[in-house]
Structure 1
């Protein structure tokens, strides 16, 4: 069968190859692959900067933002043929550390976790794949065209879940949220903010194209004139979800909130970028206003469930507009080249 594979550490090694049919495994689901999303991590792996092949192999099947339809399901699994499913990405480490032992493998302490399509486990960019029922998430059938958005949605579902946990240190009734970045993560973070009834503001650098309209159609407010202008127009946010990793925005967000503000950093910054920082002023604001800044990455099963619930409640037409291009897997190179109007690009797997 066909699969999109790469030789990790070797730039330019991505290709569609023939791989063995997935081996039958007791208790596993057999799934027909429908599509996978393409994100920055996939591009890093394709560039040779990241990724690990399974033990004993020299190639890795790509694809962690999955979507498939169950072909075979064992009795008692909770799944049936025809169910729309997404496979969880991360698996707990074999030790396991305390967090992994408690099902919180997104918080792995020793780094020995594995990840499908990324680290030591083949991914989902193949015509068929298998997955343990305990690491599969059933989706609303209405999401058949957009279910590959679940994995990025889990990232922001976790972010919001942690914001709310932190907020419960004291009375917490947020009103205004600022999302920096209007890529898939930022737009999905805005969606979950709107679903919470908050006054959502989204900051990005482009003034036209699909992003401003997508934000406005959520009932949120779009800004493109920089952080200071956005703050003057919107007022101090109670919550910031930072989804760019752009160093000046990261630093600016730390001092942008109202008292008792919470900043969640989801964007990954490049090393070596320096900015001027009044460290004393930032520290003073954080301490005197009881502010919190924290980082968040990956997701566990609870966050997949939260993400699936959020997508099921969303306007499917709006979700479909997040998908800018649907590229057949044979033309994968087109999907790895960014286009000006792109929001989310996916690879279709079915022939």
Structure 2
């Protein structure tokens, strides 16, 4: 069968293997036929050789962690043939740590977790894949064109879950949220904010292209000026750019008792002259919280499936800027200037 693979740590080693072996039974009872795979910045970094880890004893890694497929068989009976599913990316470590032991593998403490298409597990960019039943998330059949968005939605579902947990440390009645960055994660974070009835603001550098209209279609307000020029203090910030200056600016911009969730990953290596003492004073005296969030556990994947089922299908489909067949995989993995989400289509 066909699979898109890389040699981890070797830049530009992306290739299409026409004779990749069928998934081993040990990978899980549920056999799935791939429908689509989403492409994100993590894939680009793996292709660039920055990180990635092949399964034990193997040289190549099948990439792809944003999946959508249809069940071919599940001898356990948990799923039925034809069910639309996505595969959960992260699996708990084998020790396990205290969090992995209770299903909170997104909060793994010892780093021995594995991840499909990223770390020591083959990814979903192959024609057929397997997972255990508890790692296959059933989607509404109506999501067949957009269900590939489930993985990034699970990331922001986890972010909102933790925001709300922190918020309830006291009487909490948030009114406004600022999302910085209007890529897939930022737009989906704004979607979940709008579903919560909040006044949503999205800030991004783009002034044309699809992003401003996608934000407005949610009933949200689009901004392209610097954070410090905004004329309000948000109760919640979901920071999705990872840009160091933006990260620091939103920490200072949040309202008293505000919550700042850092969902973007910075590249590092850049120094900014910044008054850390003033930031510390503001965080302490205003009882503000800043925390990082990445990945998701099964609870968050289920919440994400519910959020997508409630969302406008046309709006979701507009997030997908390009769909390309597997035969054009090289083109699919080349970022385009107006891309939001690119999808590799296994169904054609």
State the alpha-carbon separation in 1 of the partners of residues 207 and 342 from structure 2: 21
Question: Which residue number corresponds to residue 319 of structure 2?
Answer: 322
Please, which runs of 5 or more residues in structure 1 have no aligned partner?
Answer: none
State the alpha-carbon separation in 1 of the partners of residues 188 and 106 from structure 2: 19
What is the TM-score of this pair, normalised by structure 2? 0.98
Residue 306 of structure 1, CA deviation = 0.7
State the alpha-carbon separation in 1 of the partners of residues 53 and 75 from structure 2: 30
Question: Which residue number corresponds to residue 12 of structure 1?
Answer: 12
Q: Render the CA deviation track for 1:263-308: whole Å, top value 9, x for unaligned.
A: 0000000111111211111011100000000000000001001100
State the alpha-carbon separation in 2 of the partners of residues 75 and 271 from structure 1: 46
Please, which runs of 5 or more residues in structure 2 have no aligned partner?
Answer: none
State the alpha-carbon separation in 1 of the partners of residues 72 and 118 from structure 2: 25
Question: Which residue number corresponds to residue 328 of structure 2?
Answer: 331
Question: Which residue number corresponds to residue 228 of structure 1?
Answer: 228
Question: Which residue number corresponds to residue 136 of structure 1?
Answer: 136
**What SS does structure 1 have at the residue aligned with 2:253?**
coil
**What SS does structure 2 have at the residue aligned with 1:98?**
coil
> Pairwise mapping of residues 151-230 of structure 1 onto structure 2 (< 5 A)?
151-229=151-229
> Pairwise mapping of residues 84-163 of structure 1 onto structure 2 (< 5 A)?
84-163=84-163
State the alpha-carbon separation in 2 of the partners of residues 27 and 93 from structure 1: 16
**What SS does structure 1 have at the residue aligned with 2:99?**
helix
State the alpha-carbon separation in 2 of the partners of residues 333 and 27 from structure 1: 29
Question: Which residue number corresponds to residue 63 of structure 2?
Answer: 62
**What SS does structure 2 have at the residue aligned with 1:202?**
strand
Question: Which residue number corresponds to residue 40 of structure 1?
Answer: 41
State the alpha-carbon separation in 1 of the partners of residues 336 and 11 from structure 2: 21
State the alpha-carbon separation in 1 of the partners of residues 225 and 26 from structure 2: 54
**What SS does structure 2 have at the residue aligned with 1:255?**
helix
> Over the residues paired in the alignment, what is the CA RMSD in angstroms?
1.1
Q: Check whether the contact 2:27–2:132 (CA below 8 A) recurs between aligned residues.
A: no
Determine whether 1:274 maps to 2:237.
no
Residue 336 of structure 1, CA deviation = 2.0
* Over 2 Å off, 4+ runs: 23-27
Residue 26 of structure 1, CA deviation = 9.5
